[in-house]
Every structure is written in C-alpha cells, then in structure tokens.
C-alpha cells in the first residue's frame, strides 16, 4: 500500500497470514462495538486513545496505543470521537498523510455547525482522504450482530478510499450505497436524527381516524342515549366504544389504505399507457409507507381481538345477560320464542370470518418482517402480500358486512339520521375491492401486464 497519495487496494488482500490491522480512534461504546465486530470478522484492531493505560475494557485481542502510534499501524482509521476533539488530528497530520479517515460522527441536532463534520475533518487534514459513513449504525446493532443486509451510506472525494471502506462494510454483512462526494455528508449526518420518518404518515392517519370515529360514535351512542332516552351509558367509553369503533374500524380502513395506492397506480399506468412516467409525489409517499400502514392496522386488529374476548367478563354484559334471563323466567317466555337459525348462522359466520381474517392479517405482518420476507422468493413474497393481502381485505370486509347484515335496513340504526360506524368503515374497503375486481378483468389485466413488461402506447403528436 502506498503511504503517500491515496492508493488503496481491498484491505484484506495484501494481508497475508497476518490479519489486516485497522485503527480506531475512540474507546467509547461505538468504538468498542465496532472493534469487536471487526475482530470477529478477522481483522486486527488497534485503538488510539488519549489515555492508553486507563481507557477501560476493550474487546479481547485488540491493542491500545497513543493516537500517533496507532495511526502509523494502519492505512484506514475509524474516527469514533466527537467533532469537538477533531483538533487532535492536526497534531499528527504527518502520520495521517495518504490515509483513509472514516468519520462516524453524528450531532445532537440538525444545523449545529456551519459545515458537516466530515467536511470540517477534511479541512483539518487535507492530506488524508475523509470518507463519511457507517454513522447510521448504532453500538447496539454492532454488538448484537444486527448488521446483515442493513444499508449504510458512504460519501467522500476519493473513489478508492470509498471502495476500500465499502469492501470492509460488505465483509461486515452491510449493503453499501455510495452517496457521492463529501457535499452529501450533511445529509448523512442528518439521517440518524430523523424520528420514524416512514411511520409519520400511517400514525397520523391512525390518530386522525381514531379521533374522528371516537367522537362520531360518542355522539351517536352515548350522547344520543342520554339526550333521547335519558339513559346514562358513559361507562361504554372504556371498552364498548373502543372495541366497536376505534380498533376494528381503524384496522379495516387502514388495511384497505395499504391496497388503495396500488390500485390507483395501476389506473395511472393504464391511463398514461406507460410505466416509465413518475407517479405524483403524494402517491409515491403513500406507496412507500404501505408496510408501516399495514403494521399499524395489525396493531389495531390485535387490540380488537383482545377486547372482543374480554366482552363476556364485563360487569355490564353479565348484568344484561342475567337480568334478561330473570325477566324471561318471570314472564315465563323466551325471546324470541323460537331458535333463530338465520341469526345463529349470521353470528357464527361473522365471528369465524373475523378469526380467519385475523389469522391471515398476522401472516401478512410476519412476512413483512425483513428476516421472514428475505427468506421468500420474489414470487412467494408477491403472492402473500398481493393475493393473500387482497383475500385478507375481502374476508375482513365480509366480517364487517355480515356483522351488520340485518341492521342495514332497520330505521333505528340511523340515530339522528347518521349511519353507524361499521357502515362508514366499509366504504373504503369496498371501493378498493371493486377497483381490484376491475383490474382483474381479462382485458384490463392484459393491458396492464403489457405496460408493466415495458410496452408503451405511442402518444399522439
Ligand atoms: C366487529 C369479533 C377480527 C373488523 C366485531 C364484533 C365482534 C368481532 C364480536 C362486534 C363488536 C361489538 O359489537 O362490540 C372479531 C374476532 C376477530 C375479529 C373474534 C378475530 C380474532 C377482525 C379483524 C377486522 C375486524 C381482523 C378488520 C381488520 C371489525 C369491524 C367490526 C367488527 C369493522 C364492526 C365494528 C362496529 O361495531 O362498528 N368483530 N373480530 N374484526 N370487527 Fe371484528
């Protein structure tokens, strides 16, 4: 390896029988965890520390020296210290000439400094090649071997330096994306500061829907009963309203919102006659958070299932049941006086569809996990997420329809002329299922398949 000028070959090629030595500046959590992972991947590790004799426990097999000594032992140095300590690099600039410095630092908040940390480092040590990267890895992920397939970003001015770091990252099981020159460093440093960016839209929709349906049903059920019948049933807010309204309704609407953008996208492609034009930004954003949308919906479905099974142990439920029986005994009659077979079919069907839908929903959630989804072929994954996904939506929608089958035409259902929650929540899933049916029509399906295979309708001039 050349000492002057940045000319690097893959780090482990030249090593021979001795493990390639890599240097880490910083003996904090991140430095220690990175060292451990590098040692387990077959590299030798040398730490550079301000206090080499009292820097606390380090991974077994690692050496520790002063910064200057450690810098001389390797051509690649991971900088795991805070930006405030970068000045120490200027004191040993001659040792860093031609070396690759990997800047793993992050800041506490955005825009703390006028320039990115990596740009600042490059300015302090112009004779070295600074590569910004691996800063999205946490000490926890490094320690617990949670690196397989994880994507990391790199940027820097020297292609060879980036290649050397990328080679090493690949050996750790990471997937590398080159983000270009050091001007991308600020973007990379801002990544770890993002708070659940893909979850924001699904969570906002969930909160919005929950609030809307909660107040809608609060007025329709509790306030209506109080105003019209002087019946005080506010206790229903805790269990009945949550289970009748918020959880199942939000789960069903959000499940359908996972499949709606796919249908809209298909109609866009049919209309434009090409797959090569970008979708509008709102549709792109929506498509990108479908997995999170589905997982939030699954969370609500789980709550609905749990709440459903506690219904029989509620005091109000048992009281209603027992007083009904006592009334029947007192009046010497059963209500209705015959066993209603249709009613029995209805309840059994809607409960079993609920359970089946829930089972498929859990299956969808499991296959969306990277560890499970990654073990499936593309065809298997597509089959589960698309075919089984639509089947789940169909079954859960049927569960809702059968639940309300004998109430749709009953005038008393429409309190203050408003439809109940389960009717409102069936609108979006029904629309999605109808759109899907249209897309399955042989003529539509044929046209869409051709477009997705690259065929383009020529535009009139
Ligand atoms: C309503 C059971 C899964 C959506 C109900 C009700 C029961 C029930 C007993 C009537 C609630 C009441 O009157 O208080 C079950 C069981 C399930 C299950 C046992 C599986 C273990 C699901 C799933 C979804 C769903 C996966 C949708 C994603 C609905 C809807 C209603 C409902 C929309 C109507 C809510 C309303 O009254 O407005 N379910 N369900 N259910 N369920 Fe399920």
Contact call for residues 103 and 135 (beta carbons, < 8 A): yes
Better-predicted residue by pLDDT, 455 or 196: 455
Residue 422 CA, ligand 1 centroid: distance in Å? 9
Pairing of strands 151-156, 100-103: unpaired
Mean pLDDT is highest, among 200-204, 339-343, 373-377, for 200-204
Choosing from 295, 349, 403, 428 the residue with most ligand 1 atoms within 8 A of its CB, the one to mutate for a pocket test is 403
Contact call for residues 396 and 402 (beta carbons, < 8 A): no
Residue 317 has which token pair?
């439920």
As a dihedral over the C-alpha atoms of residue 113, residue 115, residue 119, residue 124, rounded to 10 degrees, the angle is -70
Residue 359 CA, ligand 1 centroid: distance in Å? 13
Close Cβ partners of 30 (under 8 Å, ≥ 6 residues apart): 80, 104, 138, 139, 142
Q: Which residue puts its alpha carbon closest to atom 41 of ligand 1?
A: 354
Residue 324 CA, ligand 1 centroid: distance in Å? 24
Q: Each residue of 343-395: pLDDT tens digit?
A: 889 899 999 999 999 999 999 999 988 778 778 888 888 889 899 999 999 99
Contact call for residues 79 and 26 (beta carbons, < 8 A): yes
For residues 133-150, give the mean pLDDT.
Answer: 85
Q: Which residue puts its alpha carbon closest to atom 4 of ligand 1?
A: 248
Provide the pLDDT for residue 161.
96
Q: Which residue puts its alpha carbon closest to atom 40 of ligand 1?
A: 354
Residue 107 CA, ligand 1 centroid: distance in Å? 46
Contact call for residues 435 and 262 (beta carbons, < 8 A): no
Query: Using CA atoms, how far apart are residues 275 and 457, in angstroms rounded to an integer?
Result: 10
Residue-averaged pLDDT of the chain: 89
Query: Using CA atoms, how far apart are residues 90 and 123, in angstroms rounded to an integer?
Result: 10
Query: Using CA atoms, how far apart are residues 213 and 253, in angstroms rounded to an integer?
Result: 11
Residue 396 CA, ligand 1 centroid: distance in Å? 8
ipTM value for the complex: 0.94
Residue 381 CA, ligand 1 centroid: distance in Å? 27
Query: Using CA atoms, how far apart are residues 163 and 40, in angstroms rounded to an integer?
Result: 21
Query: Using CA atoms, how far apart are residues 206 and 201, in angstroms rounded to an integer?
Result: 9
Contact call for residues 19 and 40 (beta carbons, < 8 A): no
Query: Using CA atoms, how far apart are residues 403 and 182, in angstroms rounded to an integer?
Result: 59
Contact call for residues 89 and 96 (beta carbons, < 8 A): yes
Nearest to 382 by CA among 360, 364, 401: 364
6: pLDDT strictly greater than 80: no
Query: Using CA atoms, how far apart are residues 268 and 253, in angstroms rounded to an integer?
Result: 22
CATH of 21-193, one of 1.20.1630.10, 3.100.10.20, 3.40.50.720, 3.50.30.30: 3.40.50.720
For residues 75-93, give the mean pLDDT.
Answer: 94
Give the range among 17-21, 115-119, 197-201, 454-458 with minimum mean pLDDT: 17-21
162: pLDDT strictly greater than 60: yes
Residue 399 has phi, psi (to 5 degrees) of -60, -45
Provide the pLDDT for residue 263.
97
Which atom of ligand 1 is nearest to 305's Cα? 21
Residue 161 has which token pair?
């330096």
Residue 243 CA, ligand 1 centroid: distance in Å? 8
Task: Return the exposure string of 103-127: e unless at least 16 CB atoms fall within 10 Å of the residue's CB, then b.
Answer: bbbbbeeeeeeeebbbbbbbebbee
Contact call for residues 256 and 428 (beta carbons, < 8 A): yes
Choosing from 354, 355, 401, 429 the residue with most ligand 1 atoms within 8 A of its CB, the one to mutate for a pocket test is 354
Better-predicted residue by pLDDT, 262 or 376: 262
Which atom of ligand 1 is nearest to 404's Cα? 34
Give the range among 233-242, 279-288, 292-301, 304-313 with minimum mean pLDDT: 233-242
Q: Sketch the domain layout of the chain as residue ranges.
A: 21-193, 197-452
**Residues 83-90: contacts with CB within 8 Å, 24+ apart?**
83/107, 83/113, 83/117, 83/120, 86/117, 86/120, 86/121, 86/124, 87/124, 88/50, 89/121, 89/124, 89/125, 90/124, 90/125
Q: How far is CA 358 from the centre of its chain?
A: 20
Work out whether the CA dihedral 392, 397, 398, 399 comes out positive or negative.
positive
As a dihedral over the C-alpha atoms of residue 74, residue 78, residue 80, residue 81, rounded to 10 degrees, the angle is 60
Close Cβ partners of 293 (under 8 Å, ≥ 6 residues apart): 201, 202, 205, 254, 257, 258
Q: Each residue of 385-402: pLDDT tens digit?
A: 899 999 999 999 999 999
Query: Using CA atoms, how far apart are residues 61 and 39, in angstroms rounded to an integer?
Result: 8
Percent of the chain exceeding pLDDT 70 equals: 95
Contact call for residues 64 and 58 (beta carbons, < 8 A): yes
What is the H or E stretch that residue 351 is in?
helix 341-367
- Give residue ranges with CB within 6 A of ligand 1: 240, 243-245, 248-249, 251-252, 255, 301, 304-305, 308, 351, 354-355, 357-358, 361, 396, 399-400, 403, 421-422, 425
338: pLDDT strictly greater than 80: no
Residue 312 CA, ligand 1 centroid: distance in Å? 15
Q: How far is CA 213 from the centre of its chain?
A: 25
Q: How far is CA 280 from the centre of its chain?
A: 22
Query: Using CA atoms, how far apart are residues 127 and 172, in angstroms rounded to an integer?
Result: 28
pTM value is 0.73
Query: Using CA atoms, how far apart are residues 337 and 62, in angstroms rounded to an integer?
Result: 83
């Amino acid at each position: 390896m050349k000492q002057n000028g940045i000319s690097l070959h893959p780090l482990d090629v030249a090593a021979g029988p001795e493990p390639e030595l890599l240097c880490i500046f910083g003996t904090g959590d991140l430095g220690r965890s990175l060292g451990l992972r590098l040692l387990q991947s077959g590299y030798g590790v040398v730490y550079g520390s301000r206090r080499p004799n009292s820097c606390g426990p380090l991974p077994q097999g690692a050496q520790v020296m002063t910064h200057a000594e450690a810098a001389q032992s390797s051509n690649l140095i991971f900088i795991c210290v805070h930006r405030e300590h970068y000045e120490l690099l200027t004191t040993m600039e001659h040792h860093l000439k031609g070396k690759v410095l990997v800047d793993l630092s992050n800041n506490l908040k955005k825009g703390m400094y006028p320039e990115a940390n990596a740009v600042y480092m490059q300015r302090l040590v112009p004779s070295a090649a600074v590569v910004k990267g691996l800063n999205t890895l946490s000490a926890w992920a490094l320690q617990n071997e949670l690196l397989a397939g994880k994507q990391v970003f790199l940027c820097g001015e020297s292609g060879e330096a980036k290649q050397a770091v990328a080679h090493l990252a690949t050996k750790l099981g990471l997937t590398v994306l080159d983000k270009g020159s050091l001007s991308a460093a600020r973007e990379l440093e801002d990544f770890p500061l993002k708070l659940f960016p893909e979850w924001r839209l699904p969570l906002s929709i969930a909160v919005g829907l929950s609030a809307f349906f909660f107040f809608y049903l609060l007025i329709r059920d509790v306030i209506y009963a109080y105003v019209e019948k002087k019946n005080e049933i506010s206790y229903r807010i805790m269990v009945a309203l949550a289970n009748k309204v918020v959880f199942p309704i939000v789960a069903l609407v959000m499940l359908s919102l996972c499949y709606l953008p796919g249908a809209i996208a298909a109609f866009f492609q049919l209309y434009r006659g090409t797959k090569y034009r970008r979708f509008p930004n709102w549709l792109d954003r929506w498509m990108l958070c479908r997995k999170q949308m589905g997982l939030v919906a699954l969370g609500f479905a789980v709550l609905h299932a749990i709440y459903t099974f506690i219904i029989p142990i509620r005091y109000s439920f048992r009281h209603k049941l027992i007083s009904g029986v006592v009334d029947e005994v007192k009046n010497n009659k059963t209500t209705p006086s015959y066993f209603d077979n249709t009613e029995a079919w209805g309840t059994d069907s809607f409960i079993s569809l609920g359970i089946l839908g829930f089972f498929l929903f859990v299956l969808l959630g499991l296959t969306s996990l990277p560890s499970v989804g990654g073990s499936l072929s593309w065809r298997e994954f597509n089959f589960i997420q698309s075919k089984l996904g639509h089947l789940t939506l169909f079954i859960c929608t049927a569960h809702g329809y059968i639940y309300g089958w004998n109430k749709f035409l009953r005038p008393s259902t429409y309190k203050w002329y408003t439809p109940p929650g389960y009717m409102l929540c069936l609108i979006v899933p029904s629309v999605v299922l109808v759109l899907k049916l249209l897309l399955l029509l042989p003529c539509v399906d044929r046209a869409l398949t051709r477009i997705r295979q690259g065929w383009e309708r020529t535009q009139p001039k």
